[in-house]
């Protein structure tokens, strides 16, 4: 059943890429119509390929629990998440490096980095949203990365302070310190830290 859902989602993803790259939709439809039809189609596909969020998914060789409030959860689960960025990331990160993942969310890039830096490297994953942070910590545990990854339940700013984090109800991966009027937001108070101070304390 999971394989069938993956096939359906990949077919949808490839069709959207072809339509986007060929520009066919731009010729045939105005922008508002394209946005409406795109949202309608994605909504229909997402209902068909519903995720079982009680179990972890195999994501690029890692086991990961997903965030139910993230629209990118299906892209992560079915292997279509940010292909181009992933390829660049894999070329840049080398063994022994220290990587800082600001806004780590559930750990997608955190775990990519952990594998790439290896046992002699270090990854610091900053995630201020408490609900998402708990998923991140759970994912670190099931992948056995405590020696390489340090999860930090804070945001990053120019100084230590308490700030408002605005989390769209259906898009936790788009949380921001900046208020978005168009989004249906939940506001939470979180602590931030400056990287200079944090790493000075780390020695």
Within this chain, do residues 61 and 156 fall inside the same structural domain, yes or no? yes
Within this chain, do residues 85 and 16 fall inside the same structural domain, yes or no? no
Query: Which one has a higher pLDDT value, 174 or 183?
Result: 174
Q: How many whole angstroms separate alpha carbon 145 and alpha carbon 12? A: 34
Q: Looking at the predicted structure, is the pLDDT value of residue 122 above 90?
A: yes
Within this chain, do residues 85 and 7 fall inside the same structural domain, yes or no? no
Task: Give the pLDDT score at 181.
Answer: 67
Mean pLDDT of 168-190: 77
Which structural domain, as residue segments, surrounds residue 144?
53-202
Q: How many whole angstroms separate alpha carbon 15 and alpha carbon 54? A: 29
Q: Residue 112's closest CA among 93, 131, 98?
A: 93
Maximum mean pLDDT: which of 10-19, 78-87, 191-200: 191-200
Within this chain, do residues 102 and 36 fall inside the same structural domain, yes or no? no
Task: Give the pLDDT score at 48.
Answer: 78
Q: Looking at the predicted structure, is the pLDDT value of residue 156 above 80?
A: yes
Within this chain, do residues 81 and 101 fall inside the same structural domain, yes or no? yes
Within this chain, do residues 74 and 107 fall inside the same structural domain, yes or no? yes
Q: Looking at the predicted structure, is the pLDDT value of residue 183 above 70?
A: no
Within this chain, do residues 35 and 96 fall inside the same structural domain, yes or no? no
Task: Give the pLDDT score at 101.
Answer: 97
**CATH number of the domain encompassing residue 124:** 3.40.50
Within this chain, do residues 30 and 58 fall inside the same structural domain, yes or no? no
CB-based contacts of 112, cutoff 8 Å, min separation 6: 60, 86, 89, 90, 93
Within this chain, do residues 70 and 163 fall inside the same structural domain, yes or no? yes
Within this chain, do residues 66 and 152 fall inside the same structural domain, yes or no? yes
Task: Give the pLDDT score at 142.
Answer: 96
Q: What is the pTM of this model?
A: 0.82
Within this chain, do residues 96 and 166 fall inside the same structural domain, yes or no? yes
Task: Give the pLDDT score at 78.
Answer: 86
Within this chain, do residues 41 and 90 fall inside the same structural domain, yes or no? no
Task: Give the pLDDT score at 106.
Answer: 95
Domains identified in the chain, total number: 2
Q: Residue 185's closest CA among 196, 202, 172?
A: 172
């Amino acid at each position: 059943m999971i394989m069938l859902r993956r096939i359906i989602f990949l077919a949808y993803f490839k069709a959207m890429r072809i339509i986007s790259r060929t520009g066919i939709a731009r010729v045939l439809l105005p922008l508002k119509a394209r946005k409406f039809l795109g949202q309608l189609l994605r909504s229909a596909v997402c209902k068909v390929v519903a995720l079982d969020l009680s179990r972890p998914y195999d994501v690029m060789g890692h086991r990961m629990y997903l965030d139910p409030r993230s629209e990118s959860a299906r892209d992560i689960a079915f292997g279509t998440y940010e292909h181009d960025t992933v390829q660049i990331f894999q070329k840049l990160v080398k063994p022994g490096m220290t990587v800082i993942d600001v806004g780590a969310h559930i750990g997608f890039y955190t775990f990519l980095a952990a594998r790439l830096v290896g046992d002699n490297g270090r990854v610091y994953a900053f995630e201020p949203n408490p609900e998402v942070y708990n998923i991140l910590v759970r994912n670190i545990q099931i992948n056995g990365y405590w020696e390489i990854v340090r999860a930090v339940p804070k945001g990053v700013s120019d100084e230590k302070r308490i700030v408002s984090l605005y989390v769209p109800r259906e898009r936790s991966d788009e949380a921001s310190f900046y208020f978005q009027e168009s989004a249906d937001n939940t506001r939470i108070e979180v602590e931030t830290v400056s990287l200079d101070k944090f790493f000075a304390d780390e020695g």
